[in-house]
Structure 1
Amino acid sequence: MTGFLALLGLARAGFTAPSFAIFTDLMTGWVCAPGRRTITAMITVADPAGRRAHDAYHRFVRDGAWAMPRLWQSLATHLVARFAATGTVELACDDTLFHHEGRHIEGAGTFRDAVRSTLAKVVYARGLNLVVITLQVRPPWGGCPIAVPVNMRVHRKKDTTTTIGHAATMLTEIAGWLPGRELHLCADGAYATLARDLPDRVHLTCRMRRDAALYEPAPARTGKRGRPRTKGARLPTPAQLSKTLPARAFTTAQVDVRGATVTKLVHVTDVLWYRINKTRLVRLVIVRDPDGVEPDDYFFTTDPHAGAAQIIGRYAARWAIEICFRDTKQDLGGQNPQSWKRRGPERAAALSLWLHAATWSWYLQTHPDGRTWTPRPWYRHKATPSFLDALAALRRALWSGRITAMSRSEPDNTKITEALLDTLAYAA
């Protein structure tokens, strides 16, 4: 319990003393509250005696004099120092929709719902469109990496800043928080244009369009009058290139795909994707399934020193951000806090993502072996903990501290207390 309170203490500088006390109560109440994580449910657990006015907690989220960027900075610097102290800082970026019904929710709009949409049908839903950057953490037990949020923005309808613009702003912020560190961002193809103007010390890995217009590098100046050429001869598109390449142009690579080693055939070439960046070459990687079951895939990176296996592995690890979104919505109830006005909706969503990162940080430090969960008869092959297991361990520690403080120290109560804690751990 003290370890989690110490993590909350990282954000103390961003609050006054009274507001920090409310922040601590809300975060612990968010973890321990059963059922839907409304602000009222958090208060019921964190402040059952009513030490503060009920509306003080709502005002804190909606109008409190504190800034979310300071909370992100304190947590991001701690996470990087703890889990990525050396080497390149691996990041991932994507956007997600936090569902909210109603026409009077500040910042909400109707956006494409990526979870429910398919190639044949696009589904739209109302809510907050969040652009999130996460830190990729390799857990000590191996397997799939863990994505922990380190920055977030809300993209509004008719916003002059696009989702790509929000991502670029956050990247610049993170680079400023981590002076001297190399950053590498992975994102899906929608964020490919980030390669136009990356901050110093930042590289990007993305999926490339099948019909991307590629060129050879600009030829050397001839000494003739006139403006020099900015691009060379036109090259085939990635899809055309993969069809015309002979089999000998591909090499075999052993790729780490979320903890599993997979064999792929790869072809690497440096090209100029003129639409994305007019002066900087990108490294194109064509990935082929040796068995011919999966279609060819195409990735690019602005890192000129990255190998094919590293590029593919980085992009595969990007899937962890999708797991982060699912866990924040389903296990933490990130869509549940009923704060609708002014800064309330955006702050509530940001706090849920902040708490997701804080929970994983606490768990990785206090349970490095990951053995806190009980194997289920229907899930015999489970070998690593999930976020729900981490949340249950934290909930158990917080409830244990509260119950112990209110209980008599008699041996007869031990079995009852342990059974109660086990139930509370997975009650929410």
Structure 2
Amino acid sequence: MPTFPAAFQTLILPYAALFCKRVFTHAQLLPAGAILTPGKRTVTAALRIMGLAQHKAFHKYHRLLSHANWSALAASRLLLQQIVRLQADNQPIVVGIDETLERRWGHKIKARGIYRDAVRSSGSHFVKCSGLRWMSVMLLVKIPWADRIWALPFLTALAPSKGFYEDKKRQHKPLTEWAIGLLKLVKRWMGERKVIAVGDSGYAVLELLHQLSGQVALISRLRLDAALYEPAPPAAASKKGRKPLKGNRLPTLQAVSDDSKTAWQQATITDWYGGQTQQVSYCSQTAIWYHTGKPPVAIRWVLVKWQGKVAAFLCNDVTIDAVSILGYFVRRWSMETTFALVRAHLGVENQRQWSNKAISRTTPVLFGLFSLIVLLADELARQGLLEGQSSSWYHKSHLTFSDTLGCVRRHFWRQMHFQTSASGTDVVKLSAHQFSLWENALAWAA
């Protein structure tokens, strides 16, 4: 077993409580191997990069994902407790929630379905794809050394289609119920700390807003033609029958936007798309959002104009001001970046597992590996060891995730093989074993 860097051991040690001692020995090697492996993040690739290509008991590492008893939820809670330290204690916990499609084929992958491929589709072009649908919750926090809002995944759940449950006792859960369960779980983990969740227009659902009211503040887009009402008037004590749920109908947000008498305010939103600063005009009020047969929900709506565009947003916590709602919502755009990065740099969609348990564990682990790498990089930044690639023709003022991953890899190689070398030496001796590992990694990197 190789000697891991101290920063990695500090981060991985709390997870030892999830495994028995024998299994944890294998468990800590796989994430280290996944960090160092270029290309596909399979179990065998991790073993090769760690120098265990001739290990006879390689099947034990596969069984860690397919058979070993450990709780992925407990691991998610530990990871959340680690990444929340990247922000101040007096700030609310801002999380994003969204689903993504992992493209997978094969009749042995029972949870797969046919879904709309959001990456390849557009407003006029619809693309369907076979794969696994994942719902992920990410902490949206500003990383000082990157000077950007990054989305750090910590809780990812498989949300199969309705067809998956046709021959099973369990009933199908729509995405709304998955979101309610995951966000309530995050709130329970965070205790008294305020939790704010942001999602796209798919999460602007009355049942979801109603279930989370008083627990999680949910921010989402709102239709410009949504049915908004005044609060219900107080019912007379002598009046019998049902109490009113709403008051008079209010103008639609489209009508408010077109009205020349609407009073607009100006605001500057930082961390807009691309990390830019954006000037916007907005107006905001509170209202009751109601639809027949659905529970009424008190919301604060925010109507925004910028560069000729108009959009509306809502929040089920009316105490949050309009500018804060906009600032929280624009953080959501970093989630799409994370989805792209885990595919490009961490091997998501390259798995080869077929068992249900291994499939349900591998992708969430790779998503969590993204956050683990950021935590390792943050520790290196505190020690002044985090440096990106630079050249005479290009210098980066802030690091990207590819820079971060490269710095963490470089630190691993140095600590695992050169920790006994004297500082300031011109020549570093390289063992034949280590040279072989690097030779193979470079030769098959593509």
Relative to the length of structure 1, the TM-score reads 0.90
The correspondence of residues 62-101 of structure 1 with structure 2, limited to 5 A, is 62-101=66-105
Aligned to 1:297: 311
Q: Does the 8 A contact of 2:377 with 2:386 survive in 1?
A: no
1:175 to 173, 183, 187: 187
When structure 1 is superposed on structure 2, of 198-207 and 147-156 the one drifting more is: 198-207
1:162 to 159, 174, 191: 174
Aligned-pair CA distance for 1:210: 2.2
SS in 2 for 1:30: helix
Paired letter, 1:295: K
SS in 2 for 1:164: helix
2:224 to 210, 213, 227: 210
The 2-side partners of 1:49 and 1:103 are apart by 30
Aligned to 2:410: 396
Unaligned runs of 5+ in 1: none
SS in 2 for 1:272: strand
SS in 1 for 2:389: coil
CA deviation profile, 1:370-426 (whole Å, cap 9, x unmatched): 95112356755x431111111111111112223326989994533989xx999989x
Paired letter, 1:263: Q
* 1:246–1:301 Cα change, 3 Å: same
Does the alignment pair 1:364 with 2:368? no
CA deviation profile, 1:4-33 (whole Å, cap 9, x unmatched): 122111211111112211111111110111
Q: Does the 8 A contact of 2:113 with 2:160 survive in 1?
A: yes
CA deviation profile, 1:170-228 (whole Å, cap 9, x unmatched): 11211121111110001011012221201644211101012211111111113433322
* 1:376–1:314 Cα change, 3 Å: farther
1:271 to 283, 287, 290: 287
Aligned-pair CA distance for 1:39: 1.7
Paired letter, 1:68: A
1:133 to 132, 137, 150: 137
Aligned-pair CA distance for 1:257: 3.2
When structure 1 is superposed on structure 2, of 46-55 and 182-191 the one drifting more is: 46-55
Unaligned runs of 5+ in 2: 166-171
Q: Does the 8 A contact of 1:137 with 1:146 survive in 2?
A: yes
Runs of 4+ residues deviating >3 angstroms: 49-52, 257-260, 275-280, 368-371, 375-380, 405-412, 414-417, 420-425
Does the alignment pair 1:280 with 2:297? yes
When structure 1 is superposed on structure 2, of 402-411 and 63-72 the one drifting more is: 402-411
The 1-side partners of 2:175 and 2:96 are apart by 14
When structure 1 is superposed on structure 2, of 322-331 and 400-409 the one drifting more is: 400-409
When structure 1 is superposed on structure 2, of 181-190 and 133-142 the one drifting more is: 133-142
Q: Does the 8 A contact of 1:175 with 1:183 survive in 2?
A: yes
2:112 to 108, 113, 119: 108
The correspondence of residues 51-70 of structure 1 with structure 2, limited to 5 A, is 51=55, 53-70=57-74
Q: Does the 8 A contact of 1:253 with 1:308 survive in 2?
A: no
Q: Does the 8 A contact of 1:256 with 1:262 survive in 2?
A: yes
* 1:11–1:379 Cα change, 3 Å: same
Aligned to 1:375: 390
Q: Does the 8 A contact of 2:218 with 2:315 survive in 1?
A: yes
Aligned-pair CA distance for 1:83: 2.7
When structure 1 is superposed on structure 2, of 4-13 and 364-373 the one drifting more is: 364-373
* 1:257–1:370 Cα change, 3 Å: farther
1:260 to 250, 259, 276: 276
Aligned Cα root-mean-square deviation (Å): 2.8
Aligned to 1:20: 24
Aligned to 1:337: 351
The percentage of aligned residue pairs carrying the same residue is: 28
Aligned to 1:243: 258
Q: Does the 8 A contact of 1:143 with 1:260 survive in 2?
A: no
The 2-side partners of 1:122 and 1:239 are apart by 27
Aligned to 1:190: 202
The correspondence of residues 304-315 of structure 1 with structure 2, limited to 5 A, is 304-315=318-329
Aligned to 1:4: 8
The 1-side partners of 2:270 and 2:423 are apart by 51
SS in 2 for 1:257: coil
Paired letter, 1:33: T
CA deviation profile, 1:88-139 (whole Å, cap 9, x unmatched): 1111110001111222214222211111110001111111111000011211
Aligned to 1:354: 368
CA deviation profile, 1:265-294 (whole Å, cap 9, x unmatched): 1010111111397343101100012xxx43
Paired letter, 2:116: R
